[in-house]
C-alpha cells in the first residue's frame, strides 16, 4: 500500500510521515525531495529557471511514477500538489494508494509556521500573525475542495504525534 499524506504546509505531512513509515516498516518519501533528486536541482531553482508550469508538469509526472511503481510507501506531498493538473484524480485512482488529509486549523498552522518563515519562501514576506492568518485562510479556502477529496480526513489539532500515528494506523488497517 502507498499512504499519501496531503494537507497544508506545517500540517505534519513530513514529520508524521517519517514516524508512520518507521512504525509500518515502509519507505518514506517527500515528493519535493524526490523531485529535487531526480532533477538535480532545488524546487526554488526549478521555479526560478523553468517556471511553475514546468514544475507542475514534472510534479505530476513523478507523482504518477511513484504511485505506479512503489509499494509499502508513505508519500508526503507538497501542500499544492493535490490542487494542480489532475493530481488528486491520479492519487484517488491509484489502486494501491490511500490518501489522508492531515487537517490543522488556522490557529494551529499559525503557531507552527510563525517561527519557520525563513524556511518557507511562500510566507517569508508576511510580517504579522494577522496577515499570516489571512494568507493561510485564503489558501485553505482555495485548496479545501481538493484536500476534502482524500479517502480519510484526520484533524490533528491538540493531538500528540503518538496519538495521531495510532489513529492513522487504525484508519489504515
- What residue numbers does the annotated binding site for substrate cover? 32, 56, 79, 143
Binding-site residues for ATP: 10-15, 120
75 φ, ψ to 5°?
-115, 120
Give Cα 114 to chain centroid, integer Å: 18
Other Cβ atoms within 10 Å of 164 Cβ, number: 19
Rounded to whole angstroms, the Cα distance separating 61 from 127 reads 35
Binding-site residues for Mg(2+): 14
Cα distances (Å, whole numbers) of residue 115 to 40, 101, 105, 119, 121:
29, 23, 17, 9, 13
Rounded to whole angstroms, the Cα distance separating 95 from 2 reads 9
Binding-site residues: 10-15, 32, 56, 79, 120, 143
Say whether 103 sits in a helix, a strand or coil: strand
Please check whether residue 9 is in contact with residue 113, taking contact to mean a CB–CB distance below 8 angstroms.
yes
Amino acid at each position: 500500500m502507498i499512504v499519501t499524506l496531503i494537507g497544508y504546509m506545517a500540517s505534519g505531512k513530513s514529520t508524521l510521515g517519517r514516524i508512520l513509515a518507521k512504525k509500518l516498516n515502509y519507505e518514506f518519501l517527500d515528493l519535493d525531495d524526490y523531485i529535487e533528486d531526480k532533477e538535480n536541482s532545488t524546487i526554488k531553482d526549478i521555479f526560478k529557471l523553468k517556471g511553475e508550469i514546468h514544475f507542475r508538469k514534472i510534479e505530476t509526472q513523478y507523482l504518477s511514477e511513484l504511485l505506479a511503481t512503489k509499494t509499502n510507501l508513505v508519500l508526503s506531498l507538497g501542500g499544492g500538489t493535490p490542487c494542480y493538473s489532475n493530481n488528486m484524480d491520479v492519487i484517488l485512482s491509484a489502486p494501491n494508494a490511500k490518501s489522508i488529509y492531515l487537517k490543522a486549523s488556522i490557529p494551529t498552522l499559525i503557531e507552527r509556521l510563525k517561527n519557520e518563515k525563513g524556511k518557507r519562501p511562500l510566507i517569508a514576506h508576511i510580517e504579522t500573525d494577522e496577515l499570516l492568518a489571512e494568507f493561510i485562510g485564503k489558501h485553505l479556502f482555495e485548496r479545501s475542495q481538493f484536500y476534502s477529496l482524500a479517502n480519510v480526513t484526520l484533524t490533528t489539532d491538540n493531538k500528540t504525534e503518538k496519538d495521531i500515528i495510532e489513529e492513522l494506523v487504525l484508519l489504515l488497517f
